[in-house]
Structure 1
């Protein structure tokens, strides 16, 4: 069973390429060591979801796992922690390089 961007399950003859955790909104490889440890401990399976690919997980609002997808996680982190410029203010003016 795969999940769409609204987390609705749908049947598929093709297995998902990434898995995620519904509560933490994190997706990663099916072989992720952190996810496999959580599954072995029994506390993860009830909230597990599967996506056809990374884009489907992103569309559903999930972020990449820092353990099994470090490059994708770094890119996500850089995008989400970039300083925000208020509307109507250019980045140069916000940085103080343009006189008022």
Structure 2
């Protein structure tokens, strides 16, 4: 039986899921609508504790996460978070 190509479930700019042959480069949390780096220490800690995974989403790039209405993580993207916070006022 031949190996099927691996696909990844990502969100597009409208927040709709689609399959991609390329893994997401940014992760997010659907409930809190926060995005960040895949190695974010806060997300990694939550995943290790058995949380977060159920609401985990992935984006091809940062622009898509922003377009989908997600904000930057204050832990792994502090500069982006501060810019977002200033613009949100």
Asked if these proteins are the same fold (TM beyond 0.5), I'd say yes
The alignment of Structure 1 onto Structure 2 pairs a total of residues equal to 81
Residue 43 of structure 1, aligned match among 29, 42, 51: 51
2:88 is the alignment partner of 1:80: yes
Q: Output the TM-score relative to the length of structure 2.
A: 0.87
Q: Which has the larger radius of gyration?
A: 1
After the TM superposition, which parts of structure 1 deviate over 4 Å for at least 4 consecutive aligned residues?
A: none
Q: How far does the alpha carbon of each residue in 1:29-60 deviate from its partner, in whole angstroms, 9 at most, with x for none?
A: 00000000010111100000000011100011
Alpha-carbon separation, structure 2, partners of 1:6 and 1:45: 21
List gaps (5 residues or longer) in structure 1.
82-100
The root-mean-square deviation of aligned C-alpha atoms, in Å, is 0.8
Instruction: Report which of the two has the higher share of strand.
Output: 2
Q: What secondary structure, in the 3-state scheme, does the structure 2 residue paired with 1:2 have? A: strand
Residue 33 of structure 1, aligned match among 34, 41, 46: 41
Q: Structure with the greater relative contact order (CA < 8 A, sep ≥ 6): 1 or 2?
A: 2
> Which residues of 2 match residues 1-100 of structure 1 at below 5 A?
1-81=9-89
